[in-house]
Amino acid sequence: MLLTFIINSLLITLTVIIHYELLYNLAVKLPLLPVKPRLRVLCGVFIILLAHIIEIWLFAFAYFLMINIDGLGSLSGNFNQSLLDCSYFSFTSYTTLGFGDIVPTGHIRFLTGLESLTGLVMITWSASFLFIEMQKFWPKGRAT
């Protein structure tokens, strides 16, 4: 159980740090891009999507590690123990989609719940950031 706590804590900490650093650097560097403001926002969207994919793969590697360590749990159902299946499960967990075709058992269940919570927070953080960036370029006028 202690190993599960350590893995989960490190993974969530790493995910939040990656996301924070990416958004901070985007806030600093997006205004400096020598392109039209609308393209700056699009660049931000694609860079943030890439960050989410990296974060999802971090969780996928953690699932792969945990299912190969005795006593940490397993994933069952439509699952063949591959890294690719771990990434599929991670994508559905991070986005809170959760098809239910792969079921976690044992201590790995805690990582699944934490990934869903972390994914929800990272996605809403990204949406808030992009909303603020887009506001900078929307026409300003009076509401009537």
Coil, strand or helix: which one is 78?
A: coil
pLDDT digits (tens, 9 = 90+) for 98-139: 899 999 999 999 999 999 999 999 999 999 999 998 888 776
User: 59 or 41: whose pLDDT is higher?
Assistant: 59
pLDDT at 144 (0 to 100): 47
Can you read off the two tokens belonging to residue 22? 């990416």
d(CA 5, CA 125): 24
pLDDT digits (tens, 9 = 90+) for 71-85: 999 999 999 999 999
Burial 107-118 (b: 16+ CB within 10 A, else e): bbebbbebbbeb
**Average pLDDT of the segment spanning 3-25:** 97
* Class (C level, CATH) for 2-135: mainly alpha
**Average pLDDT of the segment spanning 35-46:** 90
pLDDT at 37 (0 to 100): 81
Per-position DSSP letters for 81-109, written without gaps between them: S-HHHHHHHHHHHHTT---SSEEEETTHH
| Domain chopping of the chain, boundaries | 2-135
pLDDT at 141 (0 to 100): 59
* Helices and strands, number each (H, E), in the chain: 4, 2
**Average pLDDT of the segment spanning 88-103:** 95
Which amino acid does the sequence have at 47?
A: I
pLDDT cut 90: percent of the chain above it: 85
Q: For all residues of the chain together, what is the average pLDDT?
A: 93
**Average pLDDT of the segment spanning 57-74:** 96
Is 106:63 a contact under the CB 8 Å cutoff?
Answer: no
